């Protein structure tokens, strides 16, 4: 059941992104407290959408007893079902996560968690680039993936 719910959230997560030039839907008192309006009013940079993507990325290296199933499903959902409008945010989060692997001297500490994360990232990127859908090209071009790809190599 969690797979279906996660897939639903991945596919429709783009509706949470507001255009900066979109006029508000009335006064703050007139609006009901939706997740989008609440997050934007609080001035909190950590939006529910950002937390959702962070949790998905943390599940890519899940060590739970059903970790393999969880990792496989998360990889497939992010790589195949994610709304194209979320690609730039995903790429930035992946780039930030991968850049943390490097220490001051530059080499990547080799351990199982880092290896799993890199393998999952490569599979997700392959799926995103292979399964290009109508309208996804404009979102693929909004974020720079060169640094992330070079770090993976």
Per-residue pLDDT in tens (0 to 9) along the chain, 153 residues? 899 999 999 999 888 876 544 555 555 555 444 444 444 444 456 889 999 999 999 999 988 899 899 999 999 999 999 998 898 899 889 988 887 776 666 666 788 888 899 899 999 989 888 876 655 555 555 566 656 665 565
Q: Are 93 and 53 a contacting pair, CB within 8 Å?
A: yes
Query: What's the whole-model pTM score?
Result: 0.72
How far are the Cα atoms of 98, 120, 125 from residue 68, in angstroms, in the given order? 21, 11, 19
């Amino acid at each position: 059941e969690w797979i279906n719910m996660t897939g639903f959230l991945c596919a429709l997560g783009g509706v949470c992104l507001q255009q900066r030039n979109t006029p508000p839907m009335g006064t703050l008192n007139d609006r009901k407290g939706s997740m989008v309006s609440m997050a934007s009013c609080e001035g909190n940079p950590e939006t529910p959408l950002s937390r959702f993507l962070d949790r998905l990325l943390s599940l890519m290296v899940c060590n739970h007893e059903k970790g393999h199933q969880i990792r496989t499903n998360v990889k497939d959902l992010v790589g195949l079902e994610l709304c194209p409008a979320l690609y730039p945010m995903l790429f930035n989060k992946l780039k930030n996560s991968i850049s943390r692997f490097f220490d001051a001297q530059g080499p990547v500490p080799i351990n199982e968690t880092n290896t799993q994360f890199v393998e999952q990232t490569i599979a997700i990127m392959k799926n995103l680039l292979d399964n290009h859908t109508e309208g996804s090209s404009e979102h693929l071009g909004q974020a720079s993936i060169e640094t992330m790809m070079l770090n993976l190599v």
